[in-house]
Structure formats: structure tokens, C-alpha cells
Chains A and B, each alone.
Chain A
Amino acid sequence: MDDEPLVRWYWIGDHLGYLGDLLADHAVIALVPVLIGLLLAVPLGLACTRFPRLYQPLAAVFNIVYALPSLAVFVVLIPYTGLATQATVMIPLTFYAVAVLLPTTVDGLRAVPDPVRQAATAMGYGPWHRLAAVELPAAVPYLVAGLRVAAVSSISLASVGALVGRGGLGYLFVDGFQRTFPTPIVAGIVLIAVLALAVDLLLVGARRLLAPWAVREKGAGQ
């Protein structure tokens, strides 16, 4: 190990295609759960704003879910979903995403000022139209803030899946560790950080497109 450099560049050059495949696999394993989590969190959040009694118990449950160690959950799922399958890693990641997104969704929906809601009703919007045209757009900045945390955590967590045989770039950590060869590990860390950064920038861009007023307000407030 003493004479082994941190990075052997030729290895990276020789394995570009391989690294690309792992990156694509990683993106799917880490990000599809975040999307599914969003699709679950929005209706749950709506239910919580409509029936406020629901929120406390649901939040408590997802607080505990968030405390579950990913490795332990992967392992517990193996008998049902199989070793080294995408489902084993993606199901827990979906729950983590919901745990992050549910509170931000509820905050976002609650942040719609009452006069705005009343104005929409007065203009003849029905409940569904008002939801689609007023309440959800107003919640976008909150949703994006939640999505940023959920996506970055998910990208980082997915690598633990390598210990149960399906972790995208995380496989590089196992591989490098077993061969006492740091190059793949460094490549894995860097690629995961780059993927997280790229997704984060995409989300910030999406917020600018979908909720341009949020950027203005923030700028005005500072």
C-alpha cells in the first residue's frame, strides 16, 4: 500500500465504459426512488393538510423509518426481494425519500396564504382546479428544497447497496477495498459527488423555471 498511489490514471482510462455503466445504474437505483417518493409524498401531504390529525402520527412513523440503518433494511428485505436485485435497494430508498419529502410537502401546502386560497375560490376555482393551479405551484419551492435533500442523500446512500450486491458506484468501494487498490474507491467517491452536484443543479434550475417568483423573493429579502 505504501508505494500504491491514490489514483492510477491508466485504470480510469481503461475502464471509462465500465464506470459509465455503473454511473447509469447508480442514477437509476438512487433517483427512481426519489421520484416514487415524491409521487407518494404529495398525496400523503395533501391528506395531512385536509385531515390535520393524520400528520402527527404519520410524521412520527416516518421519523422512525428515517432512523432505520440502510444496510439493515436491505438485509431484512433480501428474503423477499432477492440478493443483488434493484428492488432490495430501491424500496428502502423510497421510504427514506418519503420521510424527507412529507414534512416539506406539508410545510409547502400550509404556506399558501389564506387570502390567496380565498381569492382562488372567489374566482370560481373548484377544489381540484385550485389545487393544480394555486396550491401545488405555491408549494414548489418547498418541494424542490425537500427534493434536493432527498436526492443527494439517496445518491450517497445507494452505494451501501453494494454490500448486498447492488449498489451502482458503491461496487467500486467493495472492489477497491478487496483488492487494496484505492483508485476505484476515489473514482467512486468523485463520481457520486459529481452525480449529486449535477442533480442538485438540475433541481435548482427546475425551481427557477417552475417558480421564478421564489428566486425573486429570496433575492429581495436578502
Chain B
Amino acid sequence: MNWFTWLGDFFSDPDRRSGSNAIANRIAEHLLLSGEALLYAALLAVPLGLLIGYTGRGVTVVTAMAGAARALPTLGLVTLAVLLAGVGDTAVLVPLVALAAPPLLVAAVEGVRGTDPDVRDAARGVGLTHPQVLWQVCLPSALPTLLAGFRTATVQVIATATVAAYVGLGGLGRYVVDGLATRDYAATVGGALLVVLLAVAAQAFFALLARYALPPGLRAQQRAAGRRSS
């Protein structure tokens, strides 16, 4: 037995063509769970990070807390949440949000703080109010950092959502965990490969986004910076 026969078995098994165990269904579950976690984390962390970055208050505390949050083991949080709240999306969402929020928070803070102070002063000088400066000047110039933060958070969430299967939820982790329990390596290896592909696809998506979706002014600025440093 080797990887190729395992993968062949995995993708040719008719059980994985339709029904709840179908590959397409598991991918959809995985993406939905990851997306939900990222959405809540973003709603929580990005506005807070923008405010903290703009005012400069509490930066040290937030950075230290984000570092400490890295030490929280997701598997521990998931199992504890299931015992406390019962099996359900909430039990997995809370740990995943705890995983995704720190990088987003740090990225928002760093992004806003990285805004050229002269540009901020100029924006104030031409009569923009503080909210306008934050929204029209700091947010756009924080976008590259913010996107990098989203990339880290997304990859981590997609990779970690696999653990959700251990406490009985769906997603691609089902193949990995069930395969492990029944010594069905074809399922385990196939599920693992799909998670890896999903994570790599997410990375590529954010790389493309950083390349083509940034405001034109920012892209010109980055090109100029690239020329200077090379």
C-alpha cells in the first residue's frame, strides 16, 4: 500500500460521491465553518484593532494578549466547550474565533500604525475629521497588512477546523478522524490531502487579492517601495 493506491481508493469510493459523506459536502461544511469563524473574528478584531491602532492606546497590552492567546491549545478549548455547551457549531466556533482573532487584531493595529504620519497630518490639515481620516486614509493604507493578517488567520482556521471532527462535527476532519478510528488510511490520507489543498488554495486566493484588489494608489506606492529596496 502506498499513497497513490490510498488516494485512488479514496477518490473512487462511491460512498464519497453523494450523501452527507460526499467530498463536495464535506468541503462545503469545512468552508462554511471556517468562514463563519473568520467572519465573527473579523467583526470582533478588526474594528477594535483599527481603533487601538489609530488612538495608539493599549497597543502594548493588545500585542501581549495576542501573543498569549497563541498558547491556548485549540483541542483543549474545543473539548472543554463541547462538555460545557454540548455538541454544536458554537462549541467549535468559539475556539476557532479565539484562534483567528489575535492575528487579525495585531494586523489591524500594525496596519493603522504603519500609516505615514505625514499623510495623516495632511489629511487632518485639509479638514478631514478623525473618523474620516481613519476610514479614508488609515484603513486603505492598512489594507496590505490587514490582508496578510487575514491570510494567516484563514490558513490557521482551515487547518485547525479539522479538529472539529473529533468532537463529532462535520467538515473534512471527518475523513481524517473516522479513518484513524477505523484504520482506514485511504480516508485519512485523502481527507488530509483535501485540507492541505484547501489551505493552499486559501493562500493563493489572498496572494491574488493582495496583488489585484488593493487600491491603485497603494499598488503604485508598493511598486515604488519595491524599486527602492532592490
Contact A177 B71 (CB under 8 A): no
Stretch at the interface among A9-17, A35-43, A120-128, A191-199: A191-199
CA distance A71 to B171 in the complex (A): 14
Among B67, B71, B80, B203, chain A packs the most CB atoms within 10 A around the CB of: B71
Q: How far is the CB of B52 from chain A (nearest CB, A)?
A: 17
Using an 8 Å CB-CB cutoff, how does the interface string of A64-86 with B read, 1 for contact, 0 for none?
Answer: 10111111110110110000000
B residues 194-212 with Cβ under 8 Å of A? 195-196, 199-200, 202-203
Q: Is B32 an interface residue (CB 8 A)?
A: no
**Which of A1, A155, A163 contacts B177 (CB under 8 A)?**
A163
CA distance A182 to B77 in the complex (A): 11
Question: B residues within 8 A CB of A173?
Answer: 73, 75-76, 79-80
Contact B83 A156 (CB under 8 A): no
CA distance A155 to B193 in the complex (A): 24
Question: B residues within 8 A CB of A146?
Answer: none
CA distance A100 to B136 in the complex (A): 34
Q: How far is the CB of B68 from chain A (nearest CB, A)?
A: 8
Contact B83 A164 (CB under 8 A): no
Contact A176 B159 (CB under 8 A): no
Q: Is A116 an interface residue (CB 8 A)?
A: no
**Which of A156, A164, A180, A197 contacts B73 (CB under 8 A)?**
A156
What 8 pairs between A and B have smallest CB-CB spacing? A72-B192, A196-B71, A69-B159, A67-B199, A177-B79, A159-B73, A189-B76, A67-B155
Chain A contact residue count (CB 8 A cutoff): 48
Contact A68 B199 (CB under 8 A): yes
Among A68, A153, A167, A176, chain B packs the most CB atoms within 10 A around the CB of: A68
Task: Report which A residues bind B (CB closer than 8 A).
Answer: 1, 6, 63-64, 66-73, 75-76, 78-79, 148-149, 152-153, 155-157, 159-160, 162-164, 167, 169-170, 172-174, 176-177, 180-182, 185-186, 188-189, 192-193, 196-197, 200
Among A1, A73, A173, chain B packs the most CB atoms within 10 A around the CB of: A173
Contact B80 A64 (CB under 8 A): no
Contact A188 B76 (CB under 8 A): yes
Question: B residues within 8 A CB of A177?
Answer: 79, 82-83, 166-167
Q: List 10 A-B contacts (CB under 8 A).
A: A69-B160, A69-B199, A71-B163, A79-B185, A148-B67, A156-B70, A162-B75, A163-B166, A173-B79, A188-B73
Question: B residues within 8 A CB of A182?
Answer: 80, 83-84
**Which of A1, A69, A170 contacts B75 (CB under 8 A)?**
A170
The answer to whether residues A189 and B77 also contact, given A71-B176, A164-B180 and a CB cut-off of 8 A, is yes
Question: A residues within 8 A CB of B179?
Answer: 75
Contact B79 A156 (CB under 8 A): no
Chain B contact residue count (CB 8 A cutoff): 41
Closest to B6 in A: A79
Contact A170 B83 (CB under 8 A): no
Contact A156 B72 (CB under 8 A): yes
Q: Is B141 an interface residue (CB 8 A)?
A: no
Contact B71 A68 (CB under 8 A): no
Closest to B86 in A: A1
Contact A149 B70 (CB under 8 A): yes
Contact B70 A67 (CB under 8 A): no
Closest to B154 in A: A67
Q: How far is the CB of A146 from chain B (nearest CB, A)?
A: 13
Q: How far is the CB of B204 from chain A (nearest CB, A)?
A: 10
Using an 8 Å CB-CB cutoff, how does the interface string of B52-82 with A read, 1 for contact, 0 for none?
Answer: 0000000000000001101111111101101
Question: A residues within 8 A CB of B202?
Answer: 67
Contact B189 A75 (CB under 8 A): yes
Contact A189 B80 (CB under 8 A): yes
